Amino acid sequence: MRTGSWLDGQEFPPLAYAVDGLLPEGFSLLIGPPKAGKSWLALSILLAVANGSAALAAIPMSQKRRVFYLALEDGDRRMQDRCRTVLGEAPIPDLFHYQTVIEPGFVVQTIEAFLYLHPDTTLIIVDTLGKVMPQAMPGESSYQRDYRVAGRLKRIADKHPGLSVVALHHDRKAASEDFVDSVSGTNGLAGAADTIVVLARKRQATEAVLMVTGRDVPEAEYAMTLDNGLWRLDGANLDEAAAEARQRQDSAGLGDVSVGILQFVRQHPDGCRSKDVVEKFGKDAYQYLGRLEERGDLTKVRRGFYRANAPIPGMDEEAA
């Protein structure tokens, strides 16, 4: 038990990140549909951390750090091919450790043994959680099983300050306005996680959105591109990638004029006058403003004054 005076006198170190702005210390879930590119994304992040290079070609690393990849759906040949695709001519870093086979029921012991040998580890990724998910114990519900497994992984991260443990997991396929609801299984997994990252990409598409929320990270969406297994932020940094994600969402189902008006209103966080919109886009702008209000993109605060609404996280083009 703690007291308020004890808490008031503490000085805690700043939150550590495996990838600044995306993966903080603690337990995270990386969610996405099968064949969306989750494993490629995980590998590119792991290699960037171990190599000290920019993650997603945009987020710089301050130094080379040790990582451990439980690639339970891969083999040595595929791992080598993929590493060379991501790294190009650069050698595979020595701080990159991986394992493709784990004895059933021994994932926690395997991770703890690795951390005993390498306490300086920064990032551990389990690919996929389904490969190590045990059956529910007698009398245990699916929710309790999910929370127990995720909770054990979270405790490992909590016992090692600065460590990020990430588990890859499939989505539930059903569409939802709240991307946290996309986590397959019960709410036990999402409830135990500190951070949830959802990769949304349609089959064969080269564009995607990375949606992030958590206890210690700001909720945001970032535009991504995929080219022959290479994931990149669609922007020079997270702010630019977030702006690109908003622009993509604004463009869904809208013509050029509507997109221009919506972006113009977004440039005024407190709202702007319809008169200003008409001066820039012409008299037809009144009709466009009305349509954007009906769509839910704009709110009419008062007569002749509009404010842009925040995009709904996880809404895709069909939903829009």
Per-residue pLDDT reduced to its tens digit, 234-274: 999 999 999 899 878 766 666 778 878 888 898 888 888 98
CA dihedral 234, 238, 242, 248 (to 10 degrees): 0
Q: What is the pLDDT, as a whole number, of residue 320?
A: 32
Which residues sit opposite 229 in a β-bridge?
Answer: none
Backbone Cα Rg of the chain: 22
User: In the prediction, which pLDDT does 158 show?
Assistant: 95
How many other C-beta atoms are found inside a 10 Å radius of the C-beta of residue 2? 7
Interatomic CA distance for residues 45 and 22, integer angstroms? 11
User: Residue with structure tokens 């564009």?
Assistant: 207
Lowest mean pLDDT segment, chosen from 21-25, 170-174, 275-279, 301-305? 170-174
What pLDDT sits at residue 312?
Answer: 42
Cα–Cα distances (Å) from 63 to 53, 75, 122, 228, in that order, read 8, 28, 11, 27
Mean pLDDT across 201-215: 88
* pLDDT-based confidence at residue 316 (cuts at 50, 70, 90): very low
CATH 3.40.50.300 is right for the domain spanning 4-237: yes
Whether 234 contacts 210, CB under 8 Å: no
pLDDT for position 284: 84
The CATH number of 252-308 is 1.10.10.10
Looking at mean pLDDT, say which of 44-53, 273-282, 290-299 comes out highest: 44-53
The pLDDT, as a whole number, for residue 288 is 84
* pLDDT score recorded for residue 252: 63
- Only one residue has tokens 């929320």, namely 213
Q: Span 23-50, mean pLDDT?
A: 94
Q: Give how far Cα 208 sits from Cα of 38, 244, 248, Å.
A: 11, 11, 10
Average confidence (pLDDT) over 204-222: 90
pLDDT at 195 over 70: yes
Q: Do domains 4-237 and 252-308 have the same CATH topology?
A: no
> Considering all CA atoms of the chain, what is the largest pairwise distance in Å, rounded to the nearest integer?
70
Contact 131, 77 (CB under 8 A): no
Mean pLDDT score of the chain: 87
Phi, psi of 260 (to 5 degrees): -60, -40
Give 136's contacts (C-beta < 8 A, 6+ positions apart): 142, 144, 145
| Mean pLDDT of the 51-80 span | 95
Which amino acid type is present at position 59? I
Strand partners, 200: 209
The residue whose two tokens read 């702006």 is 243
Q: Are 146 and 189 in contact (CB under 8 A)?
A: yes
Residue 27 has pLDDT above 60, yes or no: yes
Q: Considering only 5-9, 114-118, 163-167, 173-177, which range has the smallest mean pLDDT?
A: 173-177
Q: What is the pLDDT of residues 84-133, one digit of tens each?
A: 999 999 999 999 999 999 887 789 999 999 999 999 999 999 998 888 88
Residue 173 has pLDDT above 60, yes or no: no
Tokens encoding 216: 């210690």
Q: Report pLDDT for 317.
A: 36
**pLDDT, average across residues 272-301:** 87
Q: What is the pLDDT of residue 61?
A: 95
Residue 172: exposed, middle, or buried by beta-carbon count in 10 A (0-12, 13-18, 19+)? middle
Percent of all residues in the chain with a pLDDT value above 70, rounded to a whole number: 90
pLDDT band at 183, cuts 50/70/90? low
pLDDT at position 318 is 34
pLDDT at 257: 80
Q: Do the Cβ atoms of 164 and 123 come closer than 8 Å?
A: yes
Average pLDDT rounded to a whole number, residues 16-32: 94
pLDDT band at 175 (very low <50, low <70, confident <90, very high): very low
**Where are the chain's structural domains?**
4-237, 252-308
C-alpha to C-alpha distance for 246 and 59, rounded to whole angstroms: 20
- Kind and range of the H or E element at 198? strand 195-200
- Write the single-letter amino acid at 93: P
Give the burial class of 288: count Cβ atoms within 10 A of its Cβ; 0-12 exposed, 13-18 middle, 19 or more buried. buried
